[in-house]
Amino acid sequence: MSKPLSFQSMILALQQYWGDKGCVILQPLDLEVGAGTFHPATTLRSLGPDHWNACYVQPSRRPSDGRYGENPNRLQHYYQFQVILKPSPADLIGLYLGSLDAIGIDRAKHDVRFVEDDWESPTLGAWGLGWEVWCDGMEVSQFTYFQQVAGHDCAPVAGELTYGLERLAMYIQGVESIYDLAYNDAGVTYGDVFLKNEQQFSAYNFEAANTEKLFQHFKDVSDECRALVARGLPLPAYDQAIKASHLFNLLNARGVISVAERQAYIGRVRDLVKAVADCWVEQGK
Amino acid sequence: MKFLLELQSEEIPARMQAAAAEQLRTRFVDALKAAGLAHGAVTADATPRRLWLIADGVAAASEGSAEEVKGPAASAPAQAIDGFLKKTGLTRDQLEERETPKGIVLFAMLRREGRTASEILADVIPQIIRDFAWPKSMRWGAASHSTAAPRWVRPLTGIVALLDGDLVACEAHGITSGRETRGHRVHAPGVLSITSAATYLEQLRAAHVLASSAERRRIIATRAAELAAGAGLSLIPDDGLVAENAGLTEWPVPLLGRFDPDFLSVPCEVIVLTMRTNQKYFALADASGALVPAFICVANLDATDGGAAITHGNQRVLSARLSDARFFWEQDLATVRAGGLEAFLPKVNDIVFHEKLGSLADKVDRVAALAKWLCENDVVPADPAQAERAARLAKADLVSATVGEFPEVQGQIGRYLALGIGVEPAIADAIRDHYKPAGQGDDVPTAPVSVAVALADKLDTLICFFQADMPPTGSKDPFALRRQALGCISVVQSTGTRLSLRKLMQYFTDICRLSISDAGWQPKLLDFFADRLKVQQREAGVRHDLIDAVFALGSEDDLVRLLARVKALQAFVETEDGTNLLAGYKRAANILKAAEKDGIGEPASGEGDGAEALLAAALATALPTAKQAVAEERFTDAMAALASLRGPVDAFFTDVMVNDPDPGIRARRLALLARFRDAVHGVADFSKIEG
């Protein structure tokens, strides 16, 4: 077998593949988000009748998953590769399998399986049907046909593919720790690039973040979001909703939101997203 | 003729395939019946990528039919006649006029021509697809611009419809039928053209698709067992897992993998659960039945390297999962080593048992008090202090990291943690077993401490929900109260536990201060137990009316005694003596009912003579005998005492006229019948007995 792709080569290969299939290759959203789905290129663009095909890498932050760089499988900051195709094309599964071929997974030797997994995001008020994609028993992608986003029926339905890049790379490269991944072919590892980041942000997420200020920020961005919706500016308003979501995740990691309050906070973020989406859909008519 | 229908789609969830195949079969058979098209055997089945159906012996055409429809009178207004013509699609001169007693009436002869199978099927297929009901369905693709777009479980990608070798042309969900299908994604990636219905299964097999789910299950089960045996191990059988893997594969290939034996420090239930639920692997055991560090996964292809890479990959995934599990387990062990299982209890306070019924910690307090009470009152032969402690610790593991990750192993983790720090085995076992029996066929705890906690836990749940007026209604039983009651019944029956439900409910009322309360909850809960008992005993052939007859006495609230009584009663009423006595009882009860309405009056003195005296004498013996026998729980003897009354009662009704003109004598005879009725009621309320 030829030398496995480095982390960055794998990203380039995916971009090349989906770019060739007609996707706009976007760059990451410049805000902290929990997953690639939050990018307006997915959330807002999955609403409304326009055709839309895009792919992008999205740095994703899940403050509670930080392990100070000590766990070989968990990160508070990681990368997703996101593909959104609207309307969902015929044989999307075939297209997806082609992307696995493109990053060097030999499907005559590996077992790729589609296991039922219905996706739901309480924060985005969204759901869809699809699968977890398993490669030799490991989940390497999420595959979803969006049915509803922010309480709106998707018409047409978009197909969403999310690749967990670090997992996929660990699999392709056969390494046991994220930090040992070859980032490029010139000897730089994932640890060289990100270990310090994980250590410092774990400390920030769990210990240092000023919760009083975070609560205040949550309130401020919520107010700002509503004010912008009132001005008929759904895109800037959506930025504020995304910030609210991340602030909630940080507060949650700091352990200052009780179990009972959690649902209420998720509901507040969902309401913001819903208000933005209503405005966006209305303007799109 | 042989008919083939294949509905291709993207991967159908494994759990839905069997029901979908059955639904396809039923809809097809019903549709053909409605169309009058004869057929032979119909088989339907599924793979992850297709639902298919083959019908043998399909007739070439449906039979024609003729039907006579009566219309309005020939003299009816034109409007009525026009309506009839419209309905029948005929013209006036096609109607037949016929003399009837009501004058001349119009008749229509409707002739339906037979239709060819091909025509019928072309109608039936789109209808089946449109009407198909999936547990969850979705829209997709360009058509989903409309929210009224076609729905299927996942995108529908193709329809094959062949009658013998001929295409049945039809269209549904925007897809035109054809003969093209797909074989295995890797082994046969191209388009596969099906020649005829008869060659379908073999053509698929050649394209590495085993269309029969039964065959895939058989291959998985036998090949997995062979692999295990080849390694000197045995497969822990799991039919559910076989079926699930058969629903995830078109060409199943079991492979044997191994994991690091160090992981065996994690409780085996957790390992098995991780393998089964998260990875769909089979667990393996050695000759002694102990779990071994190996597994069998099922791939969906014959890999070019014989499965080496797939096995290696699955081993790595499992290893990462078991690392997580071990992390949680070791964290929990560290917690209990430092502070005992009690270290978890403060967090139990944060779990809401039910919003109206307080926290789980409140429940633990009540269950501990109940468990202790059960032992102190000699209901359960366990040390009260031990039972109380077991109850206090029984829910501790719910807040452990391991149970947080693997909720299914609640109780088992608590037991392992308890044993790990030297808690007495009786308490450790009670932590695990107090949830049992979890359903029909589950083990019933018999160790005294386990019995005390199991009963206390279930009774607390039942009493709380009834007290708060939240009993199950109809099909809604969100808190599984029926199962809890059945669990209680099983436990008391299999351990012969003697428990007065009334006394227990009274004690509970004393210790529990629920702010909301339904005043009538106690009789409702007793009735609920009676109903559960009837359901549970139905299979054993115990009559529900006899359970009612004993419950109706109002005094019987001990389930073990109640059942013994019911069984003795059943044996009795099915004898000739019993049937006759029941008839006598009903006659006496009816007479008394009528007489008691008007008042009976003062009875004359003396015992009368003949049959009257005979019955009085028989009652004088039978009444105390039956009463004593009941008190001593010799229910068969009590029935025998009643049986001795049969002759005298029959004689009384034959020879004696109750309604004597002398009101004193009448009253005396009525009083005698009342004594007879009371004697019977000492055993059961015979008025509830049917027949």
Based on its alpha-carbon atoms, the radius of gyration of chain B, rounded to whole angstroms, reads 36
Q: Cα separation of B44 and A154, whole Å? A: 34
Res. B538: pLDDT tops 90: no
From A157, A176, A204, the end of a domain falls on A204
Give the C-alpha separation, B330 to B401, whole Å: 9
Residue B162 and residue B76 share a domain:
no
Q: Are residues B281 and B225 in the same domain?
A: yes
A1 lies in some domain: no
Confidence (pLDDT) at B661: 85
B-chain residues near A138 (CB < 8 A): 313, 316-317
Same domain? For B160 and B219 the reply is: no
- Say if residue B95's pLDDT is above 90: no
Of B13, B249, B313, nearest to A135 by CB-CB distance is B313
Give yes or no: residues A198 and A217 share one domain.
no
Q: Which tokens go with B677?
A: 């009725």
Q: Is the pLDDT of residue A1 over 60?
A: no
Rounded CA separation B497/B500 (Å): 10
How close does chain A come to B567, measured CA to CA in Å?
Answer: 50
- The tens digit of pLDDT for each residue in B291-343 reads 999 999 999 999 999 999 999 999 999 998 898 889 889 999 999 999 999 99
- pLDDT at residue number B553: 83
Q: Which residues contact B86 (CB under 8 A, 6 or more apart)?
A: none
Using CB atoms, pick whichever of A115, A147, A259 lies closest to residue B350.
Answer: A259
Domain count, chain A: 2
Let me know: does A140 contact A132? Beta carbons within 8 Å. Answer: no
The predicted-structure confidence for B561-578, as pLDDT tens digits, reads as follows: 888 889 889 998 888 888
Residue (of A131, A90, A51) closest to B175 by Cα position: A90
Q: Which one is predicted more confidently, B511 or B212? A: B212
Among the partner-chain residues A108, A128, A153, the one whose CB lies closest to the CB of B186 is: A108
Quote the CA–CA distance of B148 and B150 in Å, as a whole number: 7
- The DSSP call for residue A63 is G
Q: Answer yes or no: do A215 and A153 share one domain.
A: no
The amino acid occupying position A129 is: L
Residue from A157, A172, A281 whose CB has the most chain B CBs within 10 Å, to mutate? A157
| CA dist list (Å): B288 to A70, A87, B60, B225, B416 | 39, 57, 61, 17, 20
- The torsion region of residue B554 among left (phi > 0), alpha (psi -120 to 50) and beta comes to left
Contact A145 B299 (CB under 8 A): no
Total Cβ atoms within 10 A of residue B214 = 10
Query: What CATH number is attached to the domain comprising A45?
Result: 3.30.930.10
Q: Are residues A219 and A178 in the same domain?
A: no
Edge to edge, the sheet with strand B96-100 lists B65-73, B103-112, B96-100
pLDDT at B187: 97
Residue B345 forms part of a structural domain: no
Residue B470 and residue B408 in one domain: yes
pLDDT of residue B386: 96
* Residue that is last in its domain, among B206, B240, B275: B206
Residue B558 belongs to a domain? no
Specify if A120 maps to a domain.
yes
Mean of pLDDT values over B637-647: 89
Specify the pLDDT at position B516.
60
| C-alpha span between B182 and B167 (Å, rounded) | 17
What pLDDT shows up at residue A260?
Answer: 63
Helix or strand run (H / E) with residue B594: helix B576-598
Whether A27 and A99 share a structural domain: yes
Q: What confidence tier does B536 reach under pLDDT thresholds 50, 70, 90? A: confident
Task: Read off the DSSP letter of residue B138.
Answer: B
CA A170 – CA A173 distance, rounded (Å): 5
The Cα of A220 is separated from the nearest Cα of chain B by a number of Å equal to: 31
pLDDT band with cut points at 50, 70 and 90 for residue B517: low
Q: What pLDDT, on a 0 to 100 scale, did the predictor assign at position B451? A: 96
Mark whether B588 and B625 lie in a shared domain. Answer: yes
A-facing residues of B in 347-366 (CB < 8 A) are 350
Nearest Cα of chain A lies from the Cα of B496 at a distance, in angstroms, of 43
**pLDDT tens figures, B419-469:** 999 999 999 999 999 999 988 888 999 999 999 999 999 999 999 899 888
Question: B14: which chain A residues are within 8 Å (Cβ-Cβ)?
Answer: 115-116
| Mean pLDDT rounded to a whole number for chain B | 91
More confidently predicted of B679 and A148 = A148
Among B339, B363, B379, the domain-final residue is B339
Task: Identify the closest residue of chain B to A105 by CA–CA distance.
Answer: B309
Whether residue B159 is found in the same domain as residue B89: no
Residue B545 lies in a domain: no
**pLDDT tens digits, one per residue of B108-165:** 888 878 899 999 999 999 999 999 999 999 999 999 998 889 999 999 999 999 999 9
Residues A230 and A181 in one domain: no
Mean pLDDT of B505-524: 76
- Domain housing A137: 7-204
Of A79, A68, A71, the C-alpha closest to A204 is A68
CA-nearest residue to B10 within chain A is: A93
pLDDT digits (tens, 9 = 90+) for B217-272: 999 999 999 999 999 999 999 999 999 999 999 999 999 999 999 999 999 999 99
Asked whether residue B552 is assigned to any structural domain, the reply reads no
Tell whether B648 is covered by a domain.
Answer: yes
pLDDT interval class at B346 (50, 70, 90): confident
Q: Is A154 in Cβ contact with B314 (below 8 Å)?
A: no
Instruction: Tell which of A156, A174, A204 closes a domain.
Output: A204
Q: What are phi and psi of B617, to 5 degrees?
A: -65, -45
User: Is position A170 within any domain?
Assistant: yes
Q: Do B290 and B236 fall within a single domain?
A: yes
How does residue B65 score in pLDDT terms, banded at 50, 70 and 90? confident
Q: Is the pLDDT of residue B388 over 90?
A: yes
Gap between the Cα atoms of B199 and A117, Å rounded: 34
User: What's the total number of domains in chain B?
Assistant: 5
* pLDDT score of B16: 97
Cα separations in angstroms, A165 against A59, A172, B321, B381:
10, 10, 19, 60
| C-alpha span between B246 and B215 (Å, rounded) | 9
Q: Which of A167, A185, A204 is the last residue of a domain?
A: A204
Nearest-angstrom CA–CA distance, B344 and B360: 12
User: Is A2 inside a domain boundary?
Assistant: no
Asked whether residue A174 falls in the same domain as residue A143, the answer is yes
Is B561 part of any domain? Answer: no
Nearest CA-CA distance, residue A39 and chain B, Å: 22
Three state DSSP letters for B619-681: HHHHHHHHHHHHHCCCHHHHHHHHHCCHHHHHHHHHHCCCCCCCHHHHHHHHHHHHHHHHHHH
pLDDT in tens, A222-242: 999 999 999 999 999 999 999
Answer yes or no: do A200 and A222 share one domain.
no
Is residue B304 within 8 angstroms of chain A, CB to CB? yes
Do the chains contact at B139 and A171, CB–CB below 8 Å? Answer: no
Look at residue A259 in the predicted model and tell me its pLDDT: 65
> Is the pLDDT assigned to residue B514 strictly greater than 70?
no
What percentage of chain B reaches a pLDDT higher than 90? 59
Of the candidates B13, B154, B303, the beta carbon closest to that of A109 is on B303
The nearest CA of chain A is from the CA of B156 a distance in Å of 10
- Which residues sit opposite B295 in a β-bridge? B257, B283
Percent share of chain A, pLDDT over 70: 99
Average pLDDT over residues B340-356: 84
Closest chain A C-alpha to B160 CA, distance in angstroms: 17
CA distances from B164 to B5, B39, B45, B123 (A): 11, 13, 19, 18
If you average pLDDT over residues B476-495, what whole number do you get?
90
For the domain that residue A249 is a member of, what is the CATH number? 1.20.58.180
Instruction: Provide the pLDDT for residue B5.
Output: 98
Residues of B in contact with A88 (CB under 8 A): 140-141, 144, 155
Identify the CA nearest to B220 among candidates B246, B238, B202, B200: B246
CB B654 within 8 A of CB B601: no
